[in-house]
Amino acid sequence: MSRSSTWPGAPRDIITVLAKAPRPGQVKTRLCPPLDPLQAADLYAEMLADVLETTHDFATEASFEPVLSVHPASARMEMAGLVPSSFRVVAQCGFGLSERMAWAVDESLASGASKVLLRGSDNPALSRRILQSAVDALDEADLVVSPDQDGGYGLIGLRGPWAEVFNHPMSTDTVLEETLAHAQRLGLSVHRLESSFDLDRNCDLDRLLEAAVSEELDSCGRTVQWIRSYREAH
């Protein structure tokens, strides 16, 4: 029987969404201004809803287990009420983002997964097509990554216990460069996926609206509608 079988108890590969509770003053702070903290939290809630829906649809099609990894840990029960029932909701573990990402990989592999995908909640335009490309590429590559425009990435996937690739500061413009340097030192084969982009700055909101007109976006309807309504009101 293949790994994609759905008999009870069969280990499945895992896709984890790393997310924060959508609380004013704690999310999308780089967008304040022009947004105020409450608006930023509202926008983030819509982004997260889109990310969770896309991830749920992908996981169902690909026979992956979807996991929501929540920060802070005290928000786990609160966030459990916001996700599709297919998700397992866990608290992030570690003192910083790099430790929390490493823990997510290790925990997934310990549960029996052979392919692990991690995605953030800041890139709702990241499509099911990119997610499936990551799975396909991991048949041969050890590590896959979807770069973003700020020197980081919106999606990373691994098929082995190489959490050392996260052993550097996060939220800098050299995250991707340092991750790939770690991968090279470990002798890992790497596949670069189609790029994606986070919504961190005011110009990113306009970029998403432009993409919604010129491209077939299958993953961020709520976010696009929120931005359109905000732009119309301001």
pLDDT for the residue 62: 96
Residue 4 domain flag: no
User: Is the backbone peptide bond immediately before 33 cis, with ω within 30 degrees of 0?
Assistant: yes
CATH number at residue 180: 3.90.550.10
Residue 2 domain flag: no
pLDDT for the residue 149: 83
Question: How confident is the prediction along the chain (234 residues), in pLDDT tens digits per residue?
Answer: 233 334 455 668 999 999 999 999 999 999 999 999 999 999 999 999 999 999 999 999 999 999 999 999 999 998 998 888 999 999 999 989 999 999 999 999 999 999 999 999 999 999 999 999 999 999 999 999 999 988 899 999 999 999 899 998 887 889 999 999 999 999 999 999 999 899 999 999 999 999 888 776 778 999 999 999 999 998
Residue 1 domain flag: no
Domain count of the chain? 1
pLDDT for the residue 6: 44
Residues sharing a CB contact under 8 Å with residue 155, sequence separation 6 or more, in sequence order = 117, 118, 119, 120, 123, 126, 130, 131, 134, 144, 145, 146, 193, 196
The CA–CA distances, whole Å, from 77 to 44, 70, 158, 212 equal 18, 9, 28, 33
Residue 23 domain flag: yes
- Identity at 130, one-letter amino acid code: I
User: Considering all CA atoms of the chain, what is the largest pairwise distance in Å, rounded to the nearest integer?
Assistant: 57
Domain that holds residue 223: 14-233
Residue 3 domain flag: no
pLDDT for the residue 10: 60
Rounded distance between C-alpha atoms, residue 169 and residue 175, angstroms: 7
Q: Strand 190-192 and strand 153-158: pairing?
A: unpaired
Residue 49 domain flag: yes
pLDDT for the residue 9: 56
Residue 188 domain flag: yes
Structure tokens that stand for 232 in this block: 């119309």
> For the chain, first and last CA: distance in Å?
57
Full DSSP string of 179-199: HHHHHHHTT--EEE-------
Please answer whether residues 156 and 130 qualify as being in contact, where contact means their C-beta atoms are separated by less than 8 angstroms.
Answer: no
Which residues make beta-bridge pairs with 146?
Answer: 155
pLDDT for the residue 70: 95
pLDDT for the residue 176: 94
User: Is the backbone peptide bond immediately before 169 cis, with ω within 30 degrees of 0?
Assistant: no
